[in-house]
Amino acid sequence: EDQVTQSPEALRLQEGESSSLNCSYTVSGLRGLFWYRQDPGKGPEFLFTLYSAGEEKEKERLKATLTKKESFLHITAPKPEDSATYLCAVENTGFQKLVFGTGTRLLVSP
Amino acid sequence: EPEVTQTPSHQVTQMGQEVILRCVPISNHLYFYWYRQILGQKVEFLVSFYNNEISEKSEIFDDQFSVERPDGSNFTLKIRSTKLEDSAMYFCASTGEVEAFFGQGTRLTVV
């Protein structure tokens, strides 16, 4: 069974304090690993797709990386507006669905 | 920018009543999904829909659930006889090539 585990559950940072969020996964065949941002009471907002180990993608202060067992979301010099829950999900090559982790709640204080 | 739209944003219903949640996927997308998120828990897959039929469904998607694409733009989720445990955020999503784009959700409260 495909599984996604995210850590930490919650993370508090000061504005400008860089850090990383972890997503460990097990999947029999990876079609893609996805990062989403979710604000309270809202739907997941797509950030990145990673397809193979070694791949990296960047968007503003966010950078996602992928190995065969985990993915990291690096946040460089975060701002308060980066506060949200960050979700990781995988899609198996044999299925048409996303399997989500429980997310990391990020709070960035000014 | 194209987006997935869902209505209503909030629905309160009595236990045992039928509800229909509505979604308008992104117009050129071919795959449509429903997911749900119980408060404080992870987003869970319910069903995927392609070419006017269900392509995959989870164990949660039992006989009380059904999906339909009644016309060229809408995609609906019907819950026939709601239970207290159906209270959750329900998200519609659609996919063009790979990435799934989600709507803002319908908060369903069963009382």
Q: Mean pLDDT in runs of 10 for chain B (111 residues)?
A: 93 98 93 96 96 93 94 92 97 91 97 97
Q: What is the mean pLDDT of residues A20-25?
A: 98
Buried/exposed B14-36: b ≥16 CB within 10 Å, e otherwise: eeeeebebbbbbbeebebbbbbb
Average pLDDT, chain A: 96
A103: left (phi over 0), alpha (psi -120 to 50) or beta: left
A11, A60, B10 from B93: Cα distances, Å: 28, 25, 17
pLDDT of the residue at A85: 98
Residue of B34, B102, B104, B109 to mutate for A, most A C-beta atoms under 10 A: B102
Asked whether the beta carbons of A14 and A108 are under 8 A apart, the reply is yes
Q: Domains in chain A: how many in total?
A: 1
Read off the amino acid at residue A83: S
Q: Domains in chain B: how many in total?
A: 1
pLDDT of the residue at B70: 85
Any B CB within 8 A of A25 CB? no
Residues 26-65 on A with a CB inside 8 Å of B are 31-32, 34, 36, 41-46, 49
Domain housing A58: 3-109
CATH classification of the domain holding A80: 2.60.40.10
- Whole-angstrom distance, CA of residue A27 vs CA of residue B22: 32
CATH classification of the domain holding B99: 2.60.40.10
pLDDT of the residue at A20: 98
Domain housing B26: 5-110
pLDDT of the residue at B98: 82
